[in-house]
Amino acid sequence: MRIISTFVRDYSAAVLAILALTALAGGGLFLFFGRSDLASLAWYAGTGTVLAALAVEILRSLTKGHFGVDVIAGLSMSAALAFGEPLAGAIVALMYAGGQQLENFAEGRARREMTALLGRVAHTSMRYVDGRLEEVPIENLCPGERILVRRGEVVPVDGLLLSERADVDMSALTGEALPVRLSRREEVASGGTAVGSAFDIEVLRRSDESTYAGIVRLVEGAQQSRAPMMRLADRYAVWFLLLTLAIAGGAWWVSDDGTRALAVLVVATPCPLILAVPVAIISGLSRAASRGVLVKSGGALESLARIRTAVLDKTGTLTSGQAGVVSIRTTGVVSDDEVLRLAASLDQASNHVSAEALVREARARGMVLSTPTDIIEAPGSGLEGRLDGHAVVVGGSDFVHSRCAVGDPYMLGRDLPPGTAVVALGVDGKVAGIILLSDRLRADAGAAIKAFRAQGVRRFVLASGDRTDVVDAAGKLLGVDEIRGGLLPGEKVEIVLAERRNGPVMMIGDGVNDAPALAAADVGVAMGARGAAASSETADVVLLVDMLDRLPQALAIAHRTRKIARQSVLVGLALSLAAMVVAAFGYLPPVQGALLQELIDVAVILNALRALRG
């Protein structure tokens, strides 16, 4: 139904504009050949047709509780017919119908990046069943199943890469021009396009729960939203209508000339209010989407421009959200690199979070891992096994110390930074070294905060459920204004509400525990690059790409969009008001006034489209 409605709206506007243009041009031809009677008839017919369509649109808007400024356009056409000025009426009719078509064209261009997402939804997938492939609807895919993604296909659901590597074009989601190369066991987000060899993935989430499905829902919601400035334009409409009627009535009463009132109504047709704000807002939403930031509504885009305080979660927001190797300390039995290589080789047999971090780091450094044998695992403590003819043990300090006759991991682990985890390694009964793991600050975190300050954000509060000492260390490195650790979800909400007393607040988080605080903030921002979690559904803004610097860019886009929208409205109305005054004094006839108003409308719309550019 939504597709049919959009089709009727777009094409009815085009048909109406063609009819208005045909009537105006046809009347001109009749007049050229000396048939002024037929010319007037053509202009009356064209004006009446557009007026009838406008009356239906006005009644439809009134039943929904919306009072728009297009009422003035209806009054000016009605007055033109009543005062025997069909040519002026035909020009106003063309101006209105052409304006509606121009708005559709402008909005269509502005939605380009957003609607591109909707057209990329995969419908079927190749699933492995008993060693063979079968094509099935993506709705039938279940977590744990294995599917094949062929070259050129869109990844249908979120999955875990089972092949050694995959090259995926994520430009439709993130705006990044270069494909992303993923390694085995990394998560593949739905919506990307396979640009290299075919690869297999294990389904992680059902199609309706995957990243791309969530993004599509958010885009559809964003396209249907009405921004506060758009509602504000409707409120302006009442006062503008009253002012127009006062000037038109005054001109008629003083001069006793009805054509002056008609001229005032013609130049008062307020397309700056009808068109400028929605075009600018949709352009801003589109621009933000092209940078990998999905703003769900025009209201959220406006609120972004007013943010003065940011409340930040730590884990997964300012940090990577997964443990990484920060340093290696050895006893001299083997080198630093060999400590990591041996630990990662043995940890291939474990699915512990620390083991995955070591394997990931070793492969990132290009190390060739050995195959472990004779593996014995003590769940939660560590592993024993043989590698390249050596007895190797890896795990916690207690576990390794108990199995080594020489050395003590605790002697290497003194003066550890806050929040550091330790993995110890023993080789042939000797402690070989320890590996320090930590959830490291994102490389772009500090630069992002500086960029936020440049966009007018004055205060930063780091609010995390992590240990207080860990949060303190991160906050001091970043230079935030207040640091709060060890928080429960409800306490984050209290912080957001307290900060709102000092101005609009933006909350940035990534976990389910952040969802209440995201909902409480003026603008909630979810780090949604890793999936459609509860935080993404609750938030007003979703960061689709795992790059913090895109959020300050979104603030800059919001500032620019708001400025352009207000500029378009104020300049357009000022020009219309000036033309109304000139018309009231009899210096601007109705026909010339209609042509002048058309020029004002085109200038305003072109100005609003500037929000599409950076």
- How many helical (H) and strand (E) elements, i.e. helices and strands, does the chain have? 23, 22
Q: What's the rounded Cα separation, in Å, for the pair 442 and 320?
A: 6
CA 233 to chain CA centroid, nearest Å:
24
Give alpha helix (H) positions in 151-227: 171-174, 211-224
Residue of 70, 169, 234, 313 with catalytic role: 313
CA dihedral defined by 582, 587, 590, 592, rounded to 10 degrees? -100
Q: How many residues does the chain have?
A: 614
Q: What's the rounded Cα separation, in Å, for the pair 92 and 51?
A: 10
Q: Give me Rg for the CA atoms of the chain.
A: 32
Q: What's the rounded Cα separation, in Å, for the pair 611 and 614?
A: 7
Secondary structure class of 338 (helix, strand, coil): helix
Cβ neighbours of residue 388 under 8 Å, at least 6 residues apart?
370
The side-by-side arrangement of strands in the sheet containing 132-137 is 132-137, 124-129, 146-149, 199-203, 159-161, 187-188
* Residue among 283, 317, 308 at smallest CA distance from 558: 283
Q: What's the rounded Cα separation, in Å, for the pair 22 and 2?
A: 30
CA 326 to chain CA centroid, nearest Å:
33
* Residue among 541, 465, 547 at smallest CA distance from 310: 541
Residue type, 470: V
**What DSSP designation does 348 have?**
T
**Cβ atoms < 10 Å from Cβ of 389:** 7
Pair of tokens at residue 471: 């949060």
Q: What's the rounded Cα separation, in Å, for the pair 399 and 155?
A: 43
Q: Which helix (H) or strand (E) holds 524?
A: strand 523-527
Q: What's the rounded Cα separation, in Å, for the pair 416 and 411?
A: 11
Whole-number Cα distances in Å, 197 to 128, 150, 245: 18, 7, 68
Pair of tokens at residue 497: 């509400």
Secondary structure class of 149 (helix, strand, coil): strand
First to last CA, the chain: 35
Per the annotation, the verdict on 313 as an active-site residue is yes
CA 179 to chain CA centroid, nearest Å:
20
The catalytic residue positions are 313
